[in-house]
Structure formats: C-alpha cells, structure tokens
Structure 1
Amino acid sequence: MIVFAYFYDEPLLKSDFKTTIENLKVEKIYYDVGARNEFKKLFINCEILAPDYLLIRQLEELGDTPETVINNYQKLTELGIKIVILNDHKLDNLNDLECLKNTVDIDIKDPQLLENIRNNHKYLSLKKGQALRRTKFLPPPGKAPYGYRRGKESYLIDRSTAPIIKDFFEQFLLFGSLRGAVNYLAKKYGKKISVSTASRWLKNPVYRGDLKYKNEEIISNTHLPIISRDEAAQINRLLGRNRKLSSKTASAKHSLTALVSCQKCHNSMIINQVTQRSKKKEYLYIRPQKCPLNPQCKAISYQEVLDKTIEYICDNFPNQVKDFEPKKIEVYKNNIQTKIEEKNNIISQLPSLVESDILDEQTAQLRRYNLNIEISQLSSQLEQLPPENLKNIAEAVSLPRFWQDLSEAERRFYFREFIRQIYIEQISKVEWNLEITFII
C-alpha cells in the first residue's frame, strides 16, 4: 500500500490545519507555499506510479479556484487514487494504514459539496485580499476612527475632531480618571461617549500612529499619531494600575482609595465620610471593610493616614531607587534599538532583491510585513522600560512641598504610579504603623 500526502499553504494566511501524520507510514510528502511546483511533481509521479491513497487536509488544497479543484480531483481519481481528507477525520482514528480503507469516498459531483467548495474559496479569497492589504500597511476596511479620516493609503488627521481626542488624552493623563475624562468631553465639547468607548480610545494603537488588524498584529508608524510615544507609555501604565481596581475606585475622588489594607485582619480599608448635625464640616475616616476580629480594628483619621503616607514616601522612596542604574537601562535600550536598525536595514534591501529576481514582489511584501511586526514588538518593549531619569523623579516626590501643592485627584495619579499597597498595622487603640510596598 502506497500513501502520498500533499499540503498547500497560502503564504499570506496562517494555516489552521494540522499536518501531524506521524502515525501513518507515508511514502512521500509534497508541500507547497504559494506556487504549486510540488503539486506538479506530484502529478508527474502519480502518472508514473500512482499511490493507493493521497492525504490532503481539505479539498481546497487541490487548486486555486473551484473549477481547478474539481478538475484536479477527477484527474487524480481517474489514476485509481483514493483521496482522503484529513480535516474530515480525527487523526487519532487514522492510527494505521488499514484505517484508510474505512474512509468514505467523496462524491465530487454532489451539489452540496460543490457549493461548499465555492463558499470556502470565496472566503479564502476574501481573507487573502485582507491579508494583502495588511502587507501594504493599508488601513482595515470600515469607518476611520474618531479623530481621523480615510486617505488614499493611510489615515489622515481630522482637524475638526483630533483636538477633542487630544484633549481627552491630556485630561486622562492629568487626573488618571476615565469617567472624569468622559464627563470633561461632554461638558466642554458636548461630545457624549460611553465609558466603554473611552476605554477603547485609550487602548487603540491608531492614536499612537500604529495600525492594529483583526489578527491582533500591530504595525508601527503607519500614519501621524495624535499622542506621543511617551504619553502612550504613561497611559498604558495607568491602565495597568486601574485594571486591578474596580470601576468605582479607579476614579474615586480620594487619593488613598483601594490602596490601603489592614495588616492585622488582612482586609482592604474603605473611606467613610461623617458630618455633624448643623455643621458643614466633614470628617473622613479609613477603616477595615468587614473586619472579622473581635474587637474589630478601629477607624483611623484619613488625613493622618494621608500625612503618614506622604512622609513614608519622602523618607523611603529615594532609597527604593538608589540601586537603579540608568546605564543598564541604556544598554538594554541600545540593544533593542540595534535590533530595530538591523531589521530596518533588511527592509531597505528588499527592493534590490526584487529587482535581482531573488525574491518575487509578494514574498518581499510578506517579508516586509513580518519584519515590521517584529519592529513593533521591539518598540513596545522600549515603551515599557522605566524612565532613565527615575532618580530625578524620586528626588522630586521626596519633597513634602511637592505633595502639598497637589489636588486629591493629582495625588491619586502619583500614588498609583508608585504605590502597590499600603499596609496599616494597629498596635493599640491609638497607636498604628504604616508600611508601603512600591511598584518600582
């Protein structure tokens, strides 16, 4: 019993099909990517000595059009070859050559089968067209994102709406509040959007000057950005911090919200607001939520906790970053930039390779596309690096005056930049200690 196998992959598309056939003894495997040179060899060899079986993953692999598929299928079966579609059988069930005898024959003239072949080819043709647009770095189909308009080959900044987007990002960067930025747009511009829409704006690479396709691949620097790379990196850090918080606490007006927990009962601490009858003055207390101890942990003045938090940061944060070596960051950064330059050099050589007939145009476009994806991934690593002036930042935040000049919203922003968690240990009814775990 002689068994051949033929597999075809479109270079612009990633194959979703397995080619694992180790459990079958296959005499010869033919594999094509793009051009069908191996398929021609398969035909020649089959005419000399036809195998008993030909394994393929799906019928569409036999040609680039439905008519070609049907024609090639008929030619192969006329040579006495039984074609087995692996996609229609579990590979575990085809555990030996004898199992091939039990596979069902295909009726290529079945109207339903012919309709399926046509539909599959139409779908693959559509996916190939979309992939071809990606290799040319063209925007995906559909309406341009708010702040842009469609150009011939890229997004163009819309001068009427881009300032609104820019103001939205600046507002979020200033206060770190998503709902606050949404309310700001509605009040200043009459632009009403949902919180979910605003969240998508913050995460959308298009405002960084990048394109993101449905396959989650990102190509950098395809059009003019609305926000800078530094602003984008800061937004990503804020989103990362807020992701760990509930939607209510992420934009809470008190800077310590969701950051404090009780060392004794291990519960998070919430902020309570108390007012006295006939008096406008309000008192803020911070206490453990659902304390299980008896007696329960006591409430503490919010202002006292805030003052001690600032004092702790001023005393300890500079020591936290004293071992930080900007040179190591610089070396790592230079290594990444060198890799980016190497890939850009390869991209610059592709046109000459096409002119020399070493590469065809489609292969060159695909290579350029994959290199740009790798460049985008390396650029993303650069954006995640801590700032090289971290020690200078530490010196600034270690000054009590720095914190006194900030509003609660601004303090909330900086606290979540540096603080992972604040722990309060209650020693007695009146005594307590505070300890902070920094993110850096």
Structure 2
Amino acid sequence: MGVCGYLYTPAYAPWPEEELAWLKAHGANPLWHDWGSRAYLEELLQEVARGSVQQVLLVRLADLGDQVEEVYGRLLQIQQAGIRLSLVSADGLQTPSTPSDWIPLLAEIPHHLQSRRLRQRQAQSRLAGKPPPGPPPFGYRREGGRYVPDCRQAPIVQDFFQHFLRYGSLRQAVRFIAEKHHKHISVATGRNWLLNPVYRGDLAYADGTVLRDTHPALLSRTEAAQIDRWLKRNQGIPRRSASASRALAGLVHCRTCGGLLRIVQTTPGKGKQNGSSYLYLRCQACRYSLRYAEVLQEVIRQVCEQLPHRAQNLDWQALDRTRQQLQAQIQANSERLRQLEALQQSGLMDEPSLAQRCYQLRAETARLAQKLEQLPPAKLTQTIQTLSIPPFWQDLSESERRTYLREFLRGVEVDSTGAVRLLFAFDP
C-alpha cells in the first residue's frame, strides 16, 4: 500500500480543503478522511497491523483520537509496527526521528485536543444560531442562550441611532448620548455600533457568516438601509465636513484647482451696524469667495431641472429584474429550509448534516437579503419626482437638504465667477 494519509475533521467543522491538498501533494494514496466518526481510523490501524503500510502521513498527531490516552496508544501501535510517521503542513514534510523531535510534538497533543473540543462547542452553538462567546454588546444581555435587549442600555443605543438618522452626523450623535444619557463613547465605537449586525437582529461570527433574525433588533431594516446609505455617501467626504450641518458641506470643489471649498461664517464688526451673519464658500488656493446662499439656490435649481433626466441613466428594468431574482432566491431558500425540517422529523437525515445544511442556507439567505437591501429603494422614482419641485426644497431644513443632496450628488464644481456644475451619482 505504501504511503497512506489520514485526516480527522469534527462533525461541525468546515470541509478541510487545504489540509487534504497537503496530504495529496505528498503522495498520500490512499487518503482516509473521517468527518465526525472514526470508521477510517480503524481501517488504517488494521492495515498497520497487517504490515501493508510503509509510511503514515498526518496533519497533527491529535487526529489519532479524542483523548490523550487514545492518541498515545495508537501512536505507539504505529511505531511498534516499524512504520515511519510524518506530519505535513504548508511548510512541507516533517519526519521526527530523535527524542528531541518528538518532545514538542507530544506536548502539543493536549492543547490540540482542548482546542478541538472548544471549536466544536462553538460550532454547535453557531449552527444552532446562538451568540458567539464573549460579553454581549452594549444594549443587550444574555438570556436563555440568546441576546435580549437590556432595559437600561437599549434606549441609549436607540437614541444614538435616531439622532444619526435625523442629522446624519456621527460626532453629533456621540455628543448627544453623552449629554442626554452621560454615556461617553469614542467616535470609532459609534461607527462600530452603526455597522454591527447585532443591532439589526443578526449575528456575525468569526468566519464571516451572518445569520439574520436571531434575536430582537434595536434597528429596523429600513433604518439600517438608510444608515448604510449615509455611511456610503460619506465615504468620499472629509470627516469634519461629513458631520457638518450645512447642506453643501464637503460637496463643493473648485473647478480650477480641484480643492474643497470651506464654509466660512462672517459677522459684522463692532463699528458696523448689527445685522445677521453671512456664509461664504471660500477657496483657499484660488483666493475667492462665493455667497453660500446663492450657490445653494443655484444647486437646488439645477437639481430640479436636471435630476429627472440624469436619473434615466439608471437601468430601471435591470434593477427590477435583479430585485425579483434576489427575492425569488430568498423564497427558494426558505422553502428548502422547510423541506429540511420535514426530513429531520422523518429521520431521513442525520442531525449534524442537517444542522450544517440549514446553517449554509441561512447564511446564503442573509447574503442575498443584504444584496437586496443595497439596491436603490423601490420608491426612488417617486422621490426623484418630488425633488424636482422647487417649493419642496424651501420647506426643508439644512440637514434635510444635505440628506437629499448627498443621496443624488457625487459633487458640485464651481469657479470664481459662481458658475455651478453638478456631478450626479447616476453619471458614468
């Protein structure tokens, strides 16, 4: 039989493609792979007893059993048969021959077994949709193997989300909960709250998998989609401008030098008559200033005039087809999950395989749902028609204007004469 390889994988672990490739690359033939059972290990030991094996390839010594005594006993059986044993890894082949070679390998066995048991327990919890190990995130507590909202902390998180949804400013939301609830967090922590799937009722695991609707959410799906749009359109805007309350903050660039125009506020001096302050857009490099109100009115005028035509660059039929395809795939996965539940009740499918398949379907459904939520809103055409009405803009606050402008504009170009050119998000 020559060189044979053996690999053990716990029942709830993912398929070990890389480790199998290592064994095949070093000539393992046959290659026995046990997944959750020890059937092939017994066959390997029988071949060892017959003397038909010259070399055994393993990835780790701990694959030979579930207890330290089992591993030591089977290892001794292979050595007493005079069979060479080698370990394979990404670095190559290691064949211990002297006691100094064996000492560190034998010392690692208890650690590997404990690590395997820990990973298996975590995998079982993951397949059952239970939270990962560690303390619960702020706003939740553990109860009955799942997250439930904490009555004292959850209102703080919800107020943070509502303030961000209203004004679109992360720094202002952080200051708001510090003033109202005396809860002091960093801006980085606030950003993690906005991105953390747990507040949307989902669980995210270390392998990148997300399971949806595993516990009560503190943020609705509609609100979560709006937050994702806020964060996406703020990516190309400086942080201070993204948090500014003015509608044109971070959007206006100089057509000549390409620099970002700053918003500057001036007030009358002591020797002048009292009056209201003025806002200017100032280009530091080209040394010119434009009245903020005039530029804003020109931007609104062009949005009302050009937005319906520029929106035609979107392939609405293709978006509808994509939305329908994603919805159909989600529905098909839901039907498959119901069929798997029927198989479990009939006993036609073993529990580990059933749990693994359900987990895969739920993870795939979560990915499809995320793609669906990232598509433009279905009522986007109605919103565009509303934004084409000039009186609509006059009744909005600066924060509300900023919301709509950043939704549809990539930027605004101006020059020293005050000429305005809009760059729409729909443009190629």
Asked if these proteins are the same fold (TM beyond 0.5), I'd say yes
Paired position in structure 2 for 1:44: 46
Q: Which residue of 2 aligns with 1:58?
A: 60
The CA RMSD over aligned residues, in Å, is 2.5
1:329, 1:388 within 8 Å by CA — same for their partners in 2? no
Deviations 1:251-302 (A, max 9, x none): 013221221112222222222333332255333222334x3xxxx3632222
The change in CA–CA distance for 1:107 and 1:374 in structure 2 (over 3 A counts) is farther
Q: What is the CA–CA distance in structure 1 between the aligned matches of 2:101 and 2:309, rounded to whole Å?
A: 78
Separation in 2, partners of 1:136, 1:173: 33
Q: How many Å separate the matches in 2 of 1:325 and 1:32? A: 51
Counterpart of 1:133?
A: 125
**Offset, 1:123:** 1.6
**Which position in structure 2 is the counterpart of 1:269?**
261
Task: Give CA-to-partner distance per residue, 1:215-235, whole Å, 9 cap, x none.
Answer: 332100111212211111110
Aligned to 2:70: 68
Task: For residue 315 of structure 1, report the CA deviation from its aligned partner.
Answer: 0.8
CA distance in 2, matches of 1:24, 1:143: 43
C-alpha deviation, 1:176, in angstroms: 0.3
Gaps of 5+ in 1: 95-99
Distance 1:323 1:437, change over 3 A: closer
Superposition deviation, residue 196 in structure 1: 2.2
2:276 to 278, 281, 284: 281
Shift of 1:205: 1.0
Which of 77, 83, 86 pairs up with 1:84? 86
C-alpha separation in 1, matches of 2:267 and 2:171: 27
Secondary structure of the 2:145 match is coil
Comparing 244-253 and 18-27, the one that deviates more: 18-27
Aligned residue type for 1:75: Q
Whether the 8 Å CA contact 1:147–1:157 is kept in 2: the answer is yes
Contact 1:260 1:421 in 2 (8 A): yes
Give 1:389's match in structure 2, choosing from 351, 356, 379.
379
Kindly tell me the number of residue pairs found equivalent between the two proteins: 421
Residues 297-325 of structure 1 show CA distances to partners (whole Å, capped at 9, x for unaligned) of 63222222211111111111111223656
* Separation in structure 1 between the aligned mates of residue 378 and residue 77 of structure 2, nearest angstrom: 67
Gaps of 5+ in 2: none
1:97 alignment partner in structure 2: none
* Mapped partners of 1:388, 1:329: distance in 2: 9
Amino acid at match of 2:59: R
Are 1:17 and 1:57, in contact at CA under 8 Å, matched by a contact in 2? Answer: no
Q: 1:3 to 1:169 in 2, by over 3 A?
A: same
Matched, 1:345 2:340: no
The letter for the 2-side match of 1:439 is: A
- CA positional deviation for 1:353: 2.8
Q: Partner residue of 1:256?
A: 248
Kept in 1, the 8 Å contact 2:413–2:422? The answer is: yes
The answer to whether the Cα contact below 8 Å between 2:11 and 2:36 also exists between their aligned partners in 1 is yes
Distance 1:249 1:323, change over 3 A: closer
Q: Per the alignment, in what secondary structure is the counterpart of residue 22 of structure 2?
A: coil
Q: Retained in 2: the 8 A contact 1:321–1:390?
A: no
Q: Does 1:305 find its partner at 2:295?
A: yes
Higher mean displacement: 359-368 or 168-177: 359-368
State the 1:114 CA deviation.
3.4
Q: Report the CA distance between 1:358 and its aligned residue.
A: 3.4
Instruction: Name the structure 2 match of 1:433.
Output: 419
- Work out the CA distance in 2 between the residues paired with 1:37 and 1:357: 22
The structural deviation recorded for 1:331 is 3.0
Structure 2 vs 1, CA of residues 240 and 282 (structure 1 numbering), >3 Å: closer, same or farther? Answer: same
Aligned to 1:20: 22
- Deviation of 1:345 (Å): 2.1
Between the aligned partners of 1:283 and 1:172, the Cα distance in structure 2 is 27
Residue 336 of structure 1: how far off its partner (Å): 1.5
Q: Compared with structure 1, are the counterparts of its residues 106 and 257 closer, same or farther at alpha carbon in structure 2 (3 Å cutoff)?
A: farther
**Distance in 1 of aligned mates of 2:12 and 2:73:** 25
1: distance between equivalents of 2:12 and 2:122? Answer: 9
Identity over the aligned pairs, expressed in percent? 34
Q: Secondary structure at the match of 2:265?
A: strand
Whichever residue aligns with residue 91 of structure 2, its letter is K
Letter in 2 for 1:282: S
Q: Is the 8 A contact 2:23 2:57 kept in 1?
A: no
Query: Offset of 1:329 from its aligned partner?
Result: 3.3
The separation in 2 between residues aligned to 1:273 and 1:383, in whole angstroms, is: 39
Moved more, 135-144 or 199-208: 135-144
Per-residue Cα deviation, 1:84-136 (whole angstroms, up to 9, x for no partner): 1113x723xx5xxxxx8xx3326499665433210121122112111111111
Aligned positions of 1:37-436 closer than 5 A: 37-87=39-89, 90-91=91-92, 103-105=95-97, 107=99, 112-278=104-270, 279=274, 281-289=276-284, 291=285, 296=286, 298-322=288-312, 324=314, 327-424=317-414, 426=415, 431-436=417-422
Task: Give the drift of 1:208.
Answer: 1.0
Separation of aligned partners in 2, 1:207 and 1:175: 20
Structure 1 CA distance, aligned partners of 2:332 and 2:296? Answer: 50
2:279 partner SS: strand
Q: 2:45, 2:403 → 1: CA distance?
A: 68
Query: What amino acid sits opposite 1:274 in the alignment?
Result: T
Determine if contact 1:347/1:371 at 8 Å carries over to the other structure.
Answer: yes
Q: Deviations over 1:388-416 (max 9, x none)?
A: 11111001112222222222222222222
Cα deviation, residue 356, structure 1: 4.4
- Does the aligned pair in 1 maintain the 2:58–2:86 contact within 8 Å? yes
